[in-house]
Structure 1
Amino acid sequence: MTFSEEDLPPRKKKLLEPPALDSLGVEELTLYITELEAEITRVREAIKAKQAHAAAASLFFKPPSGA
């Protein structure tokens, strides 16, 4: 049996290496912070969505009471 790249589980995406802060100016650092805050917001929203999905699934698969 032969395997192809598609048969393998997807690889986890590695985070980019942070830039060297010494080489950035104040405006560039401020922009970098703004970009990081936007990414944090996006990740928090993804976490909330996953938690809501898990909560809904646990309610759906909850055994009936008294069983």
Structure 2
Amino acid sequence: MSFLDDDRPKKPVAHEVGCDLSSLSVEEIDRRIGLLEEEIVRLRTDRAQKQAGRAAADSIFKR
């Protein structure tokens, strides 16, 4: 039933890199900074997991 998923409204983007910030309040900017900091943590965590997997594979196959 994946065709039903296509009819669902898309989640609005919380922040788009490079967007115009002139109309945002200080509070809105602070919220966006928080969202971006959380995303950085998520990206770094995923990168570390992938690096660990790659290192494990390298240690097995480079013997």
Alignment gaps of 5+ in structure 1: 1-15
Q: Over the residues paired in the alignment, what is the CA RMSD in angstroms?
A: 1.4
Separation in 2, partners of 1:60, 1:48: 18
How many residue pairs get matched? 48
Structure 1 residue aligned with 2:16? 17
Matches within 5 A, 1:1-67: 17-18=16-17, 19-63=19-63
TM norm structure 1: 0.65
Alignment gaps of 5+ in structure 2: 1-14
Rg: which structure is higher?
1
| 52-61 or 18-27, larger mean C-alpha shift | 18-27
Deviation per CA, 1:12-44: give whole Å up to 9, x if none.
xxxx73332101000000000000000000000
Secondary structure of the corresponding residue to residue 62 of structure 2: coil
TM norm structure 2: 0.69
Separation in 2, partners of 1:39, 1:17: 13
